[in-house]
Structure 1
Amino acid sequence: MMTFIEVDHVKKIYGMKFNRSTAIDNISFVIDSGEFVGIMGPSGAGKTTLLNMMSTIDKPTFGHVRIDNQDITQYNEKKLSEFRRQQLGFIFQDFNLLNSLTIKENIILPLALDKVNVEIIEAKLANIANILNLNNILKHFPNEISIGQQQRVAVARAIITAPKMLFADEPTGSLDSKAATELLKYLTDVNEKQKMTLMMVTHDAFTASYCKRIIFIKDGNIFAEIRRDGSRKEFFQKIIDMQAAIGGGRQ
């Protein structure tokens, strides 16, 4: 497989002089094209900080992040914004939907910002709404639909641009078990059929068991790594064991 993301000696320091805190401490690893990778670790381990730096939301203090052979740590904000819209997708725990926009408007927002042709937008919307069963709520507003529906809308918005890379930060954290399972099965489907590269931060072993590889971090460092080479049930048990070894996985 080809390397799609390279995290090269990345370090993130907050604060100044005598009040400095190292959130990520000289981490290096790669993610291959088409992988589904999870990031786990105890509260304060640096999981979200790492995801934010890899997804262009934040910049490392030292080191480099390369996505598809492009060093995003060297980009200015304008170029980062363009790269983010065209190449990356994001799913957040709190959905980040705009309450003033309809569900349809929320989903097509990334395409509208890139001034995509209206006919193309409508075709992409029809396809994604059908896949995620959103057709009956497109005219509603976010505060008029359920939590599970809001998450599906957030997923639709994230993948309508057909991004090469999808980042998810605790995507099942606000969902009940049924909705969480449906979302995870869909993400697995996207990963396997569309070969989309996925990286997901989670504290939940069940959620993580859908990944193909888990990187565990603790105190800003890589603690361990495990790969799924058997059933999902077996992988789930490996995750539980590693959480016990690292000192728990809850946030």
Structure 2
Amino acid sequence: MQRIVEVDHLSKIYGKKSNPVKVLENISFHVDKGEFVGIMGPSGAGKTTLLNMLSTIDQPTVGSIKIGKQDITRMKERQLSDFRRKELGFIFQDFNLMNSLTVKDNIMLPLALDRTPVNDMEKGLSHVSRILGIDHILNSYPSDISIGQKQRVAAARAVITHPQLILADEPTGSLDSKSATELLHYLSRLNEEEKATIIMVTHDAFTASYCHRILFIKDGAIFSEIVRQGSRKEFFQKVIDMQAAIGGGVSHDVV
């Protein structure tokens, strides 16, 4: 199995030496190609800090992160910018769509920035819009579509470049239960059909139940890990039990 992510003895400390604040402490894990991994834990556990370092936005104090065998902790800012654009896909809670562009143009924007040939852009658009069920709204503007559709457009933009890794930060946080379920269905489809590798931060047990594996973080360290075996409903219950053990998180009934 091809290893996409290797996190090795990662620590993050903020503040001055006289008053240090340790946010992450000695975290190590890996993610293989095609995995759908969740990161969960109470508020303040360090989930966002970890995601920021995986996304090259922040740098660790100690340790290394390899994505596709490239050590991103050793890259210069210009290298990081290129790497971020070409190798990573992002799905944010607040979508980050450009209201002045159509859905089609929002999705194709990363390819346009890389000067991808028009024919290749159109093929990529057709493919991802079909998988995510948004091919009928391509000529609409973000203001004309639902919140759930906006998040699927954001997902299409994230995957159209075929990134090595997709990072999702609370992607269902702004969605109602129906829209959240639709998005998770389509993310699972991307994972299964495209072998997309996804790391998703979430507080929600229902959302997490779509993952293959979940890392639980508490007080800046990995507290536990659970792997999905059996039905999603059984996995959902395991997530609930672990949340109860470490505190924090929200949930609703699995369907």
Distance 2:135 2:230 in 1: 37
Report the Cα distance in structure 1 between the residues aligned to 2:182 and 2:155, rounded to whole angstroms: 12
Quote how far apart the aligned CAs of 1:155 are: 0.6
**Residue in 1 that maps onto 2:223:** 223
Q: Which residue of 2 aligns with 1:51?
A: 51
In structure 2, the residue matched to 1:233 is 233
In structure 2, relative to structure 1, the CA distance for the partners of 1:46 and 1:250 (3 Å cut) is farther
State the partner residue of 1:159.
159
Count of residues paired in the alignment: 251
What's the CA shift for 1:239?
0.5
Matches within 5 A, 1:49-128: 49-128=49-128
CA offset at residue 133 of structure 1? 3.1
Query: How far apart in 2 are the matches of 1:185 and 1:164?
Result: 21
Provide the C-alpha distance between the structure 1 equivalents of 2:195 and 2:133, rounded to a whole number of angstroms: 22
Change in Cα spacing, 1:4 to 1:129, as seen in structure 2 (3 Å) is closer
| More displaced stretch, 99-108 vs 231-240 | 99-108
Structure 1 gap segments, 5+ residues each: none
Q: Distance in 1 between matches of 2:173 and 2:181?
A: 12
Change (3 A) 1:217 1:4: same
Secondary structure at the counterpart of residue 157 of structure 1: helix
Distance 1:130 1:193 in 2: 12
Contact conserved, 2:4 with 2:164, CA < 8 A, in 1? no
Q: Percent identity?
A: 66
Q: Is the 8 A contact 1:95 1:154 kept in 2?
A: yes
Q: Secondary structure of the residue that 2:57 maps to in structure 1?
A: coil
Q: Deviations over 1:144-164 (max 9, x none)?
A: 321111101101100111112
Deviation larger for 130-139 or 241-250: 130-139
Per-residue deviation, residues 99-156 of structure 1 (Å, max 9, x unmatched)? 2322222111110111111121122112222333333433333223211111011011
Cα offset, 1:7, TM superposition: 0.5
Aligned equivalent of 1:39: 39
Q: Does 1:130 align with 2:98?
A: no
Range with bigger deviation, 95-104 or 65-74? 95-104
Runs of 4+ aligned residues of structure 1 deviating over 4 Å after TM superposition are none
Partner of 1:242: 242
CA–CA distance in 2 between the matches of 1:237 and 1:180?
19
Which whole-Å CA distance do the structure 1 matches of 2:123 and 2:2 have between them?
A: 31
Residues 43 and 250, structure 1, Cα contact 8 Å, conserved in 2: no
Instruction: Work out whether residues 131 and 190 of structure 2, in 8 Å CA contact, stay in contact via their aligned partners in 1.
Output: no
Could you tell which deviates more after superposition, 10-19 or 191-200?
10-19
2:98 counterpart letter in structure 1: L
Alignment of 1:166-245 (within 5 A): 166-245=166-245
Letter in 1 for 2:7: V
Q: Distance in 1 between matches of 2:103 and 2:33?
A: 31
How large is the Cα RMSD of the aligned pairs?
Answer: 1.6
Match of 2:22 in 1: 22
**What is the letter of the counterpart of residue 68 of structure 1?**
G
Q: Distance in 2 between matches of 1:142 and 1:113?
A: 20
What is the one-letter code of the residue matched to 1:121?
Answer: M
* CA-to-aligned-CA distance 1:212-244 (integer Å, 9 cap, x gap): 111000111111111111111111110000000
What is the TM-score normalised by the length of structure 1? 0.95
Match of 2:3 in 1: 3
Quote how far apart the aligned CAs of 1:66 are. 0.4
1:55, 1:88 within 8 Å by CA — same for their partners in 2?
yes
Q: Deviations over 1:165-211 (max 9, x none)?
A: 11111111111111111111111111122212111100000110111
Query: What SS does the aligned partner of 1:56 have?
Result: coil
CA drift of 1:250 comes to 4.4
